[in-house]
Amino acid sequence: MKFLIKIFFFIIIIFVNSCANISNQKINNKIEKNYFNSKGFALIYEDALYKNRTLNKKINNDKYVVLLSFVKKNSLVRITNPDNSKFIDAKVKTGNYPNIFSAVISKKIASDLGLNIDNPYIEIQEIKVNKKFVAKQSNTHEEERKVAENAPVTEITIDSLTNVETTSQKQVQKFIFFIIVSDFYYSSTANELKKDLVNKTKFTNISVKKINNNKYRLLVGPFENFNALKSSYISLNNLGFEGLNIYRE
């Protein structure tokens, strides 16, 4: 009888340990969230855009507001002007807008970032919550503080940057722009799509760039400015290519 009791308890211990191991495996194998990261042009809000149905939502131009299609409402994102390294953190509102734009931003954001209105190129990064992050900025605004205080972040450290030149103080740098169609593992696949796109669009500026031995990037460009790439971007959209990124060099 005692032998059977020992066997019984031994089986229970094995069962409990197995359950614990399975639970730990599920936690360890949990897929980490992919955070939104994009580079491209911003659409600066005007009431006329809502009235003519280019946008499906209004935003307040006097506040730090960003409209995004692919990020959950109330997520926290960092919008950066790469020309002067200024950035602003803002909560997301969701809405629809033309695919050629990476986001819709208020005039206040555009002004405080010192964006070039003709080429409002920005970088957007979704901020990971519940982790420490360092916010380095040349100017800290009260609205930004409110956003940071209300965001579900464990700790926020703010470092001030000094002697940051404004866009007007330094020489305006000229860039060329490219549309990234897609990345491929094999150069043959990239070149096949290139050939197909040339036939369908009659583009003469499509190229394949080797990133490394396992990545080949299909590009359209270069373009001298944002207006020059609009028609090419829309043509690719009409062929079913969505969420295209734009980069510059």
Does residue 42 form part of some domain?
yes
Q: Are residues 215 and 148 in the same domain?
A: no
Q: Is residue 8 part of a domain?
A: no
DSSP 91-138: EEEE----TT-SEEE-HHHHHHHT--SSS-EEEEEEPPTTS-EEEEES
Q: Given this model, what pLDDT does residue 31 score?
A: 53
Asked if 153 and 182 sit in the same domain, the reply is no
Residues 84 and 144 in one domain: yes
Q: What pLDDT does residue 21 have?
A: 53
- How many domains does the chain fold into? 2
Among 107, 126, 160, the domain boundary falls at: 160
Neighbours of 94 (CB within 10 A): 15
| Domain-ending residue, one of 105, 127, 160 | 160
**59 DSSP assignment:** -
How, if at all, do strands 37-44 and 103-105 pair?
parallel
Rounded to whole angstroms, the Cα distance separating 205 from 191 reads 13
Which residues span the domain enclosing 132?
A: 37-160
Q: Are residues 200 and 146 part of one domain?
A: no
Residues 122 and 64 in one domain: yes
Q: Quick check: is 140 in a domain?
A: yes
Residues 41 and 125 in one domain: yes
Q: At a CB cut-off of 8 Å and minimum separation 6, what does 194 contact?
A: 206, 207, 208, 218
Do 49 and 155 fall into the same domain? Answer: yes
What's the angle, vertex CA 11, arms to CA 8 and CA 15, rounded to 5? 140
Distance CA(129)–CA(2), nearest Å, equals 54
Residue 78's pLDDT band (cuts 50, 70, 90)? very high
Specify the CATH number for the domain of residue 226: 3.30.70
106 — pLDDT class (breaks 50, 70, 90) = very high
How much is the pTM?
0.58
* Residue 210 to residue 214: CA distance in whole angstroms: 9
> Mean pLDDT, the chain, as a whole number?
75
218-242 pLDDT, tens digit each: 999 899 888 788 888 888 888 888 7
CATH number reported for the structural domain that contains residue 94 in this entry: 2.40.40.10
**Does the residue 156 lie in any domain?**
yes
The 10s digit of each residue's pLDDT in 182-208 is 899 999 999 999 999 899 888 889 999
C-alpha radius of gyration, the chain, whole number = 24
Q: Are residues 49 and 118 in the same domain?
A: yes
Cα separation, 133 vs 158, in Å, equals 9
- pLDDT surpassing 60 at residue 8: no
Give CA angle at 111 (106, 116), nearest 5°: 105
